[in-house]
Structure 1
Amino acid sequence: MHSLRIVVVNPDAIDDGASDPAFEAQAERGKALRIGLLQAGYNIIASLPADLYLPERIAQLQPDMIIVDAESDARDVLEHVVIATRDARRPIVLFTEDAKKSSMEAAMAAGVSAYVVAGLQAERIKPVLEVALARFNQEQKLRTELSDTKLKLAERKIVERAKGLLMQRHNMSEQDAYQKLRRLAMDKNLKLAEVAQRIIDAADLLG
């Protein structure tokens, strides 16, 4: 497997030039995280601020995973990250000092794959990211299965409606109407639902 291409989003790392203990502590956290990622063999392709350009930059970089390093309240930055990954979902891992249950629940609801409080030891990073990736892949699989199920249900409804129209207009039995749909689909090399939709569209046009 190729080395994961990671974008680190660090909303707190803004140096205003003053000697700020909070900034220095955050800088150390960020440094420890980056060292841990590199030691674990990950490829950090960019370290970005959480600003209005974040969605555009993530779209350009196409990372495999996004890591958010936020000391405290990360709701604003998560909003930016979620917007940035709305069309192309990616695993998001949040490293934070915020242990509040409400913050954790909000982050997970927003689409975070792993919420890690404190403890940026290098040896913890790899297993955390592997679990986050596995969880993300499982969720994607479930989403795909759910989407496929919904599509099949929608197609079934279309076929049922088309069958009903054929039965009504041509005084057919349900079995005969279904067989007619199947023959039309085979003749036109179309899916059953596509033929059914055409029959419905024609019926709507004719009134």
Structure 2
Amino acid sequence: MQGTRVLLAEDNELVALTLQAQLTSLGYDVVGVADDGMRAVAMVRELQPDVVLMDVRLPGIDGPEAAGQINEVAPRPVIFLTAYSDQEIIGRIERSGAWGFLLKPVQSTELAPAITIALARFQEVQQLRLRVRELGETLEARKAIERAKGVLMQRLSLSEHDAYEYIRTHARDRRVRMKVIADEVLAGEWAPMA
């Protein structure tokens, strides 16, 4: 909680001031208050908050649209604040990639748990995305190495094991990843000698 940077996106000045006071009393650092959707997106880029509390109905672009843009340019957990809970609003919030939803008037006792849970889930998802990206890169490297082994087996009449060792040895000698050697072999930039 301490040091968590919060951006508020709320066009009602009284509600914004109340939320700001509640958050500050809970130990959060309110880094800014946006009074419309476009400003909220710009402030997320500029201020890099940890979490965004956003009204659903904002001037300009509304909350769900702003949240979608935030998810594209600078992903952050967005918790929506609204006085409305009809299915159309809930559906738009869900499709926007929201990390939470609180009904107005928001009680101080609801803020900390909502922010804590949103941040925890966001971190989990970010770690999973990173892991998926790493696994994808590993898979691509293995595919490239397999294709390069095939090229070496054909060019140099090597066994599969010897072609693998050839790539591994050259990578170790040059202190690069095996994928670098494999990519060079596949691109024809590197003419291996037996």
Unaligned runs of 5+ in 2: none
Name 1:192's counterpart in structure 2.
178
Check 1:7–1:28 CA distance in 2 against 1; reply closer, same or farther (3 A cut): same
Check 1:190–1:118 CA distance in 2 against 1; reply closer, same or farther (3 A cut): same
Contact 1:95 1:116 in 2 (8 A): yes
Which residue of the other structure, out of 148, 169, 178, is the alignment partner of 2:164? Answer: 178
* CA drift at 1:80: 2.5
Check 1:204–1:50 CA distance in 2 against 1; reply closer, same or farther (3 A cut): farther
* CA drift at 1:51: 4.4
Indicate whether 1:98 and 2:84 are aligned: yes
Aligned residues between the structures: 191
* CA drift at 1:131: 0.8
Which is further off, 169-178 or 56-65?
A: 56-65
Identity %, equivalent residues: 26
Which residue of the other structure, out of 54, 61, 80, is the alignment partner of 1:68? Answer: 54
* CA drift at 1:182: 0.3
AA in 2 matched with 1:168: Q
AA in 2 matched with 1:9: A
**Higher RCO, 1 or 2 (CA under 8 Å, sep at least 6)?**
1
Whole-angstrom distance in 2 between the partners of 1:111 and 1:204: 46
Name 1:145's counterpart in structure 2.
131
Whole-angstrom distance in 2 between the partners of 1:61 and 1:118: 25
Unaligned runs of 5+ in 1: 14-25
SS in structure 1 at match of 2:128: helix
RMSD after superposition: 2.7
Which is further off, 84-93 or 139-148?
A: 84-93
* CA drift at 1:39: 1.9
* CA drift at 1:97: 2.2
Contact 1:71 1:97 in 2 (8 A): no
SS in structure 1 at match of 2:49: coil
User: Pairwise mapping of residues 196-207 of structure 1 onto structure 2 (< 5 A)?
Assistant: 196-202=182-188
* CA drift at 1:68: 0.2
Name 1:122's counterpart in structure 2.
108
Name 2:5's counterpart in structure 1.
5
Contact 1:7 1:63 in 2 (8 A): yes
